Amino acid sequence: MELLERRIAEDGEVCPGNILKAGSFLNQQLDIGLLREMGREWKRRFAGTEINKILTIEASGIGIACIAAVEFGCPVVFAKKSGARNVTGDVFSTRVESFTHGTVNEVVVDRRYLGPGDRVLIIDDFLANGKALEGLMDLLEQAGAVLCGVGIAIEKGFQGAGDRLRARGIRLESLAIVDSMDDRTGTITFRKQ
């Protein structure tokens, strides 16, 4: 998606440790016009696929998932980090290693919000090593819900998880795929899609 690639090239910051900061448009300050175009693009790419729920993970997936959900006309469910006092009762639960924090979190979804009747699109901001995605797919499997596809804003292609998931037959639509980035020069190259 050219609009997103241009924005990453202009405003993304390449940091040591294979981190791309997108704080000014995707992660802290949210460019709603851009997010709306991203939602429309996923809707185009998943046209003809029946989807009745979007699943994401707190915190940074929630904003983009909500705006995409306007296009899909469906609710958003987000996996919460457990330990919150307002998470009680019967939950699906899995463990996710955080790429940015290096910690392992238990994340949960209340059993009332996912089930065998659901056809789900997973949305997240970044794909790095695929741990967040694997956790969300585990929750869907526990719920007996159908995974219809995955929409990622920025896939760091050089970390390999995206190609591994595609090879497993998962329908993965990343709006921008970064093939390389250099924190000394700030250079970012994108995969032709």
Beta carbon of residue 105, minimum distance to ligand 5GP (angstroms, whole number): 11
Tokens of 91: 């939950």
Beta carbon of residue 67, minimum distance to ligand 5GP (angstroms, whole number): 16
Q: Name residues whose C-beta falls within 8 Å of residue 117's C-beta, 6 or more positions apart in sequence.
A: 52, 145
Interacting span for ligand 5GP (CB under 6 A) from 18-26, 74-82, 83-91, 108-116: 18-26
Number of Cβ within a 10 Å radius of residue 153: 28
Beta carbon of residue 43, minimum distance to ligand 5GP (angstroms, whole number): 21
Is residue 190 at the binding interface for ligand 5GP, with CB under 6 A as the rule? no
Binding residue for ligand 5GP, selected from 1, 27, 69, 172, defined by CB under 6 A:
27
Tokens of 48: 């003809």
Considering only residues 111 to 140 of the shown chain, the ones binding ligand 5GP according to CB under 6 A are: 124-133
Is residue 94 at the binding interface for ligand 5GP, with CB under 6 A as the rule? no
Q: Which residues bind ligand 5GP (CB under 6 A)?
A: 19-22, 27, 60, 99-100, 124-133, 161
